[in-house]
Structure 1
Amino acid sequence: MTEPGSTTEPGAAEGNYAGDFAHVGVQATTVHGDVNYYSSPVDASPKVKFATGVRLLEGGMPGKARQLIHEAVVDGHTGNKVCFHWQLALLSGRTWHEMPHEDIMRLRQAPTICRVTAGDSWADGVEIVHRLLNSVQQGNTDPGPLLKDFDELYDPQRAMILRHLELFLDGPLKNQMWHRALQDARRDQMDGDRADRVWKFFHPEPANPRQQEPRPPNIPVGTWVRAVVATVVLAVVLLHIGYLLVRGLQVYALAVYLLSIAGGCLAARGGLEWRFRTERCRAKDQEYAAPRTRTAQPPPGGFANKVDQSFRRYFGRYVPRQTDRATWLAETAGIRKSLRDEIVEVYREQRIGVERISWLIRYRVSEVRKQWENGTLFAYRYELATPLSTKILTLIGLAITVFGGSQVMESAMRLAPLSAARSTALALAAGVITALAWQHIILEYRRYAADKAEATRTQEGCQAAYERWKQKLADKPTDLEMAAWLDRDRKVLLNEALRHYGLSMSDIIAHAFIETPGPRTKRARVQNGPWRYSRYRLFLFLLTSDGIRQLSSELDFERGTLHGWNRVNYRYEAVAAVRVHQPNDDECRFELTLVNGEQIKFNVLTPGQEELQMNEAHGAVSEVTLDAAGFHHTLHVMEGIAAEGKQWIKQERRRQSKQNVA
C-alpha cells in the first residue's frame, strides 16, 4: 500500500493490499416515509411510470429506470422528452459492451419508436446522443463539429448527457467530454447551499409534540358521600347551637359564635392553601430526586431503551457553562428520569422511531440547562413556599375558632346541658369528617388544575420548538440533489486519481466505482430509495494498459471533502478471484483475492439496513442501493478481469466490435 503523495510504478507487485473490511458504526438511521420519489402503483399510467423512471435515473438508479421507461414507451407514451430519457437510461451506468443486444436495438430504434420531431431542446438532445453513439462506433472522426453543437445545447440536456454517458464514451471524444464534465462538477460541487443543508437529509420528519394528560382527580364516591352528609350534619348542628343562644338571648355569646365560625372559615381556607403548597412542593422534590435504587433497565433495542440512550447522550452533551459534568449529571438524575418516563409514556404506543422525537428530547434537555444557568431549575421551591401572611391568618383563624368555640359551648351548656353536649359532640365529629373529605376533594381539583396548567405551558413551549425545527428542516435536500452531489464527488475523486498517476481519460480502458458506508456515519433514505450516507468510503478501480489502479478515500459528504487516501496497484494476472457474499437481502460483501492469497474486501451493504416501510418489497431497497453504488458495473468489470486477465481488454473490444456490426 502506498501512502498519499507517494508513487507506485506500473506493474508493481501484486502483494500491495489495502484492507478496508472494517466495522461501520452507524450513528443514526432515518427513513423518510413521507417522501416517495421512486415507486408507482401497479396499475400506473404510462405517464406516471415515465415520471418515476426519470426520477430513478436522476437518483442514480438506471437499472430500474430502464425498466419503467421501457414499459411507458411500450404502453404508448412517446415524444421527444421520452426518447431522450430512454436513451440516457439505456446508456447510463454501463459501457457499450455491457449492453445486451435487445437494449442496443432499442437504443438505435428509440427516435423512430418515440416519433421524435425536431423543434425543441429535447429533440436537440436526442440528436446529440445519436451523434455521440455514431462517433464512438466509428472512431477516428473529427469531434470538433459535434462538440461545438454539444456546447450550444441548453441545460438540463447538456448536464444530463455529461453525467450519464461518462462510461460509454471512448476515443478522442472522451477527453473533451471529460474536461467539460469535470469543469461542471467542480463548479457545482457545493452549490445549492450544500454544506448547510446536507445534515438535514439525515433528520426525519419530526413527530408532533404530544401532551401528557394529567392524572384526573381521584375522588371516590365514598368521599363525596362523606363530604355531603357530614356537611349537612354540621350545618344542622351549628344552626341548633345558634338557636339555643338566640332562645337564651345570649347576644354576646351569639356574636362570639359568629366570629368563631368566620375564624374557622379563615383557618380552613388558609390551611388548604398551606397544605396544597406543601404537598405540591414535596411531590416536585420526589419527582426530581435522584432514584435511590437502581431501576430495571428496559430491553435493549426497544423504544424505551433508545429514549434512555437519547436522554443520556443529550444530558451529557448539554452541560451548562461553568458546571462540572459529574455535578450536572448527578443533580439532574431525577429530572432526567422524570422526562424520560414522560416521553416513553406519551409515545410508546405511537409506533414511531426515536429519531422523530430527538428534536423534542433535545428541546426538553436544553430547557433544563437553561433553567440551571438561570438559577430557576428549582425555583418551584420558592414559588410554592407558603407566604408568611397565609400562615399567620391560618393560625389566627384557628385560634379564634378554638377560643370562641369554647366560650360559646360554655354558654350553651348553661342553657341546655344535654342538648348542647350532644350538639357539640356531633359538631366535632362532623367537622373533622367534613374537613378531611373536602380537603381531599379540593386538593385533588387544585392539583389537577395545576398539572393541567403546567402541561399546557410545556406543550406551548414544545409546539413552538416543533415549529422552529420544522422551519429549519424546510429546505432539506431532495434525494435527487443528494445523488447529483455524490456524482460530482465521484468525478473529483476520479480526477485526483488521473492527476496522481499522470493519466488522461483516454488512457483509461475502463473505470468503476463502489460506494460503501464510511465509519461513524449517519444514513437516511426516502421510501423505495437507496441509502445515502453522511460519510462514504469510495473505491475506484482504474483499468490501464499496465494494470489495475485501485484507490479508496473517505468522503465527508456534508463538506464534499476527501480524506485518507489508500492506493493499491496490481497486474491483471494478479487477480485470482472475485466473490460477492450476500447471505441475506440487507448484506453484501465484495471480495477480491490476489494470486498470493491476499484479499481486498469490504462491505457494500451492512446488516440491518433493510428497514422496510409500507409498500416496500423485501430486497428492493438493497437492490436500488447496490444500483446507485455502481456495484453491478464494477462487478462486471472485475469478474471479467478475474476470468480472462489482461485478455479481457481484447475480448471486450472484440465483443464491442461485434455489437457495432450488429
Structure 2
Amino acid sequence: MKDQKPAPKDEKDSDATFSNADGTVGAQGVFNDEVTIYVAGPDDPPEQRLRVAKNYLAALLPSQAQELLTSVIAERYCQGEAAYYWMLAILSGKALADLDEEGRYRFRSAWKQVEQSDDHWLAAAKVIKDLIVLLQDPQGDAAGTARMDQVLASFEDLPEERREEIRRHLDTLFTTGLRRQLEHIRAERIRGQRLGNERKRRVPKFFEPVPYPPQSTLSPRPTLHPAQAVVASVAILMGATGALWGESLSLRHGGTGPVLTVSALVCAALLGWLAPVRFPIRFSPWQEDPATKTSDKMRAAVKRVFERVRRNASDGESTEGWSAATRAVQTVLTREYASVYGSPKVPPGGVDYLIKRHAQNAWKRFRDGKLNTRPREATWFDCAAVALAVIALGTVIRLLLVEPTLAAGPIGLTFCAGLILPASHGDVFLIRLLHRSRERVMAAQRLLVEKELYVKRLEELADRPDDTEMARWLDDDKHYFRTLVLKQYGMDSEDVIADAVLTEPAPGARRSRVRRGPWRYSSYRMWIYLLTNSGVRQIAVHLDFASGTLSNQERTAFRYDSVASASIIEIGICFDEDRRAVLPPSQRKRRPPASIPDTEVKEKSDGKPDTEENETPKSTSNTNVAPVMLQLFRLMLVNRERFTVTVEQLAEVDETVGDDVTYLRRLALDDSGVSSALRILEQVAAEGSDWVRHAQMRAQQIIL
C-alpha cells in the first residue's frame, strides 16, 4: 500500500460534506426500538441496571456503564461483581496518565468495595490491582520479572471470560513485557475469531429494518360527505329521469328503444366493473390523502425499494422506462401503505419487505414486457365506453329527428347528470360499493400472504448479530489494524508511547442502531495515531465491516511540534434532495450543552487562532441544534494541513424515540474513539516536542 499525503483543502471548502451525496449516511438510518439492552432507568431494580452496565462494557462504552454501576454499588447489590466491573469501567481504554484525581479516587473506592467480598470477583479484581501496582513501580531486575510472572500467572488462573474482559478493557495499560506476552495471545485469538461466527453473512442483517407485522389493507367503508351525497343523489335522479323520458319518447315512435336500453345497461355495468383497472388512482380504495409528511416518507420508501429491486435484479438488462412504467403502481401503493402504515409506531423501513413483493412483481411484468402493455380489462373498458357513446349518440340523433322540441329535455338532464355525478365523486362511491365484497376477499387473501412473508422475514433475521457482538468485531478490527500497522513499520508495542484508533462512517455506508446505542456502520474509515519518541504516525484505511477487509491505506508522519490544534466542532447539516449543505447559524436551533465540552487548542506556531477565516467553524455545542448535526474531530498542522474525522447523528429521529440527544452526542464521541484521541492530541498540540517527557512524568502518578 502506497503512502499518501492529503493535500490541503481550499479554505472555502467545507468538511461537512465528507460523505458523498449518494451515500446513506446522514438522514438515512435504521433504528431498532425493540432491542433494550441499554435501557435502564433510576427506578429500575439494581439487577436490571447491573445487567445494562455489563452490556455497555461489552460494547466498550465505559462512561455509560460507570453511571449505572455507581448507583448499583450505592444500594450494595452484588457488591463484589459491581465493584469489579466498576474498576474495569474506570480504567477502560485509558492509560495511567489519563486518570485524573476523581478517576483515581473512584478506582480506590471500587477496590475497597470489592475487597470486602470473598468470591471469584475478588480474584479478578486483585489481578487488576496487582497490574496497577506493577505499572506504578516497574523494575527491570529479577524481582520485577518475578512480580510480572506472578501477575501473569494469576491472570491465567482466571476464567476465560474474565481474562477476555481484562484484555479488552485494559489493553492500553499493558506495557513492555506484559503487552508483548498478552498481545501474542490476543492476536492469535483475533486471527481465529475476527471473521468467525458467520460474520460476513450476518453483519448485513444488522442494517436491515425491523419488519412490522402486516395489517389488513381493507379500506374503510366508502362514504360521501353530506353535501356530496345530496349532489350525487340529484345527479342520479336527473340521469334516471332523463333516461326514462328519452326511452318513453323512443317507444312512442316505435324505435328499437328496448334493445338500445339493454345494450346501454350492459355497457354501463362493464364500465363500472372495469373502471378501477382503467383508472386505478381515481378509484383506489384509499380515497383520503394521508398527512403530507407521512405520504412523503412512504413515497420515498416505495421509490427506494423499487429502485433497489431494479438495481439488484437488472443484471445488465436494459431498464429504460422503468420509472415511467411503475409510476402508477408506486402512486397507488404509496397512498395505500401511507394510510395503513402511517402510524408513528411503524419503524422506518418496517414495511420494506412488503413493498419489495410488489416491486418484484412489477419487475417480473416489466421484464416480460407486460407492465407497459395495457391490461385486457382496460381495452374492454374502452370498447364498452365507445359502444355506450355510440348508443347515446344514436339515441340523441334519433330523438332530435323525431321530436326536436321535446328531445332537449331528456338529453339535457342526462348530459348534466353525466357531468355532476363524477364532480361529486358519486361515481367513485357507487363503484366502490360495487367492488366492496371483492375488496374484502382480496384483502383477506393478501393478509394471509403478507403474514407468511412476515414470518419468513423474521426467520431470515433470527440470527441478526446483537450490538455487543458488533462492538466486539469492531474492537477486534481495531486491534488487527494496529497490529498490521506495527508490522508495516517494523515496530514493537513498547516502541509506542500512546496510541488512539478512531472510526468514522465511510461514504455511502448504511447505518443502524438499537435504543440508546451508538450508530453502527456497514463500512468505516479507520484512523490510527501512533505516538513514538520520534513523532506521530497517522494511518487511515477503509474497512468493509462485513468482510473485515482493510483497503486504501494512507500514511502520514509529522513531528510533535508540527501539531497546531486539535478540536471538536459541530456543524448543522440540512438535506435537500439527498444533497447536504451546512446550515447558517441563523437557522440552527438551541441545543443543551454536551457533557463533553467542545475544545479547541489554539495554534501556537504563528499565533493565529483557528477562526472562520482559517476554515474552522465556531464550536456550536452550546448554541444550536439542527435536525442533523455533524460532529467533526479536526487535527490541524502548523503548515495549515488538516485532517478531519466525522461523527454524525440524526437528532430528529433520536428525539422522537425518546433518546436524549446530548447523551447520543457524547455516545458518538466515545464510541468513535474521538474522546480519547482528543485527550492525547490536545496535549501534543499544547506541549509540542516536550510531550514525550511530560507523558512519562504523567505515567508515574500513584493510584494505589
Give TM-score scaled by structure 1 length.
Answer: 0.75
* Residue aligned with 1:548, SS: strand
* AA aligned opposite 1:335: V
How much does 1:307 deviate?
3.5
Letter in 2 for 1:175: R
Q: How does 1:48-63 map to 2 (within 5 A)?
A: 48-63=48-63
Partner of 2:558: 570
Is residue 333 from structure 1 mapped to residue 327 from structure 2 by the alignment? yes
Q: Indicate the residue corresponding to 1:23 in structure 2.
A: 18
Is 1:629 the counterpart of 2:629? The answer is: no
Structure 1, residues 542-591: CA drift from partner, whole Å, max 9, x if none?
01111111111111111111111011101112112222223445432222
In structure 2, distance between residues paired with 1:217 and 1:301? 22
Matched position secondary structure for 1:497: helix
| Partner SS for 1:38 | coil
| Separation of aligned partners in 1, 2:260 and 2:430 | 17
Q: Within 1, Cα distance between the matches of 2:432 and 2:96?
A: 80
CA contact (8 A) 1:49 1:72 kept: yes
State the partner residue of 1:307.
301
The match for 2:219 is: 213
Q: Which residue of 1 aligns with 2:278?
A: 282
CA distance, structure 2, for counterparts of residue 603 and residue 198 of structure 1: 24
Cα distance per residue 1:453-512 (max 9 Å; x no partner): 333333333332222222212222111111111100000110111001111111111111
Q: 1:454 to 1:72 in 2, by over 3 A?
A: same
Distance 2:506 2:123 in 1: 41
Out of 362, 370, 373, the residue aligned to residue 368 of structure 1 is 362
2:702 equivalent to 1:659: yes
| Superposed displacement of residue 119, structure 1 | 4.7
Compare relative contact order (CA 8 Å, sep 6+) and give the higher one, 1 or 2: 1
Q: 1:188 aligns with which of 178, 190, 193?
A: 193
Per the alignment, residue 155 of structure 2 pairs with 150
TM-fit CA distance, 1:520: 0.6
Deviations 1:227-268 (A, max 9, x none): 99xx9xxxxxxxxxxxxxxxxxxxxxxxxxxxxx9x999999
**Are 1:88 and 2:88 matched, yes or no?**
yes
- Match for residue 606 of structure 2? none
Deviation (angstroms), 1:284: 5.0
Letter in 1 for 2:124: G
> Which residue of 1 is the match for residue 586 of structure 2?
none
Please state how far the C-alpha of 1:200 moved relative to its aligned partner.
Answer: 1.5
Q: Which region of structure 1 is more displaced relative to structure 2, 146-155 or 313-322?
A: 313-322
Out of 82-91 and 371-380, give the one that drifted further. Answer: 371-380
Does residue 602 of the first structure (1) align with residue 644 of the second (2)?
Answer: yes
The aligned runs of 1:411-426 (5 Å cut-off) are none
1:247-262 pair list within 5 angstroms = none
| Offset of residue 541 of structure 1 | 0.5
Instruction: Summarize the Cα distance change of 1:645–1:339 in structure 2 as closer, same or farther, 3 Å threshold.
Output: same
Confirm or deny that 1:357 pairs with 2:357. no
Name the stretch that deviates more: 278-287 or 139-148: 278-287
SS of residue matched to 2:565? strand
1:373/1:286 Cα in 2 relative to 1: closer, same or farther (>3 Å)? farther
The residue identity in structure 2 corresponding to 1:332 is T
Partner SS, residue 156 of structure 1: helix
Distance in 2 between the 1:573 and 1:223 partners?
Answer: 84
Partner residue of 2:129?
130
Aligned CA distance change for structure 1 residues 284 and 548 (closer, same or farther; 3 Å): closer
> Which amino acid counterpart does residue 630 of structure 1 have in structure 2?
G
* Whole-Å separation in 2 of the counterparts to 1:63 and 1:215: 55
The amino acid that maps onto 1:59 is A
Bigger radius of gyration among the two: 1
- C-alpha distance 138-301 of structure 1, shift in aligned 2 (>3 A): farther
Amino acid at match of 1:184: R
The one-letter code sitting in structure 1 at the alignment partner of 2:544 is: D
Q: Could you say what secondary structure the match of 2:701 adopts? A: helix
**Match of residue 42 from structure 2:** 42
Alpha-carbon distance in 2 for matches of 1:532, 1:153: 32
After superposing the two structures, state which structure 1 stretch, 350-359 or 532-541, moved more: 350-359
- How far apart in 2 are the matches of 1:185 and 1:19? 37
For residue 110 of structure 1, what is the amino acid of its counterpart? A
Change (3 A) 1:492 1:345: same
Match status 1:580 vs 2:568? yes
Shift of 1:93: 1.4
Seen in structure 2, the aligned counterparts of structure 1 residues 559 and 18 have a Cα distance that, compared at 3 Å, is: farther
Task: Give 1:38 deviation, angstroms.
Answer: 2.2
Root-mean-square deviation (Å): 4.3
Give the stretch that moved more between structures: 137-146 or 483-492: 137-146
Residues 419-472 of structure 1: per-residue CA shift (max 9 Å, x gap)? xxxxxxxxxxxxx9xxx99x9999654322223333333333333222222221
CA pair 309-273 structure 1, distance change in 2 beyond 3 A: closer
Structure 1 residue aligned with 2:404 = none
The answer to whether the 8 Å contact 2:194/2:477 transfers is yes
Q: 3-state SS of the aligned residue for 1:167? A: helix
The amino acid across from 1:77 in the alignment is Y
Separation (CA, whole Å) in 2 of partners of 1:305 and 1:641: 50
* Residue in structure 1 matched with residue 336 of structure 2 by the alignment: 342
Task: Give the counterpart letter for 1:363 in structure 2.
Answer: R
- Structure 1 segment 541-552 matched on structure 2, within 5 A: 541-552=529-540
Q: Match for residue 394 of structure 2?
A: none
Q: Which moved more, 1:505-514 or 1:130-139?
A: 130-139
197-206 or 160-169, which deviates more: 197-206
Structure 1 unaligned blocks of 5 or more:
9-15, 232-260, 289-297, 392-431
Deviation at 1:336, TM superposition (A): 2.8
Whether contact under 8 Å (1:539, 1:550) holds in the other structure is yes
Preserved contact between residue 578 and residue 592 of structure 1 (Cα < 8 Å): yes
Give the distance between the partners of 2:52 and 2:679, measured in 1 at CA: 27
Counterpart of 1:98?
98
1:651/1:285 CA distance change after superposition, 3 Å = closer
1:192-214 Cα deviation digits (max 9, x unpaired): 22111111211232223331516
In the TM superposition, residue 308 of structure 1 has moved relative to its aligned partner by 5.6
The CA deviation string for residues 100-152 of structure 1, in whole angstroms up to 9 with x for no partner, is 234324324534323554453x3332232222222222223223343234234
Q: Is the 8 A contact 2:565 2:685 kept in 1?
A: yes
CA offsets, 1:311-366, max 9 Å, x none?
55246426568963114443333223222332233334546454222222222101
Contact 2:32 2:515 in 1 (8 A): yes
Distance in 2 between residues matched to 1:624 and 1:56, nearest whole Å: 11
Going from structure 1 to structure 2, the CA distance change for 1:272 and 1:643 (only over 3 Å counts) comes to closer
Which residue of the partner structure matches residue 182 of structure 2? 177
1:469 aligned onto 2:474: no
TM-score (norm 2): 0.71
Q: 3-state SS of the aligned residue for 2:540? A: strand
Question: Which secondary structure does the structure 2 equivalent of 1:477 belong to?
Answer: coil
Deviation at 1:47, TM superposition (A): 3.1
**Aligned match for 2:311, one of 313, 317, 321:** 317
- Tell me the distance in 2 between the aligned counterparts of 1:103 and 1:440: 72
Structure-to-structure mapping, 1:263-274, within 5 angstroms: 274=270
Task: Find the aligned partners of 1:653 and 1:154 in 2 and give their Cα distance.
Answer: 33
Structure 1 residue matching 2:654: 3-state secondary structure: coil
C-alpha distance in 2 between matches for 1:209 and 1:361: 11
Contact 2:564 2:685 in 1 (8 A): yes
1:318/1:369 contact within 8 Å kept: no
* Partner amino acid, structure 2, of 1:125: A
Write the distance in 2 (CA, Å) between the matches of 1:304 and 1:599.
44
Structure 2 CA distance, aligned partners of 1:318 and 1:459?
Answer: 26
Q: Which moved more, 1:49-58 or 1:446-455?
A: 446-455
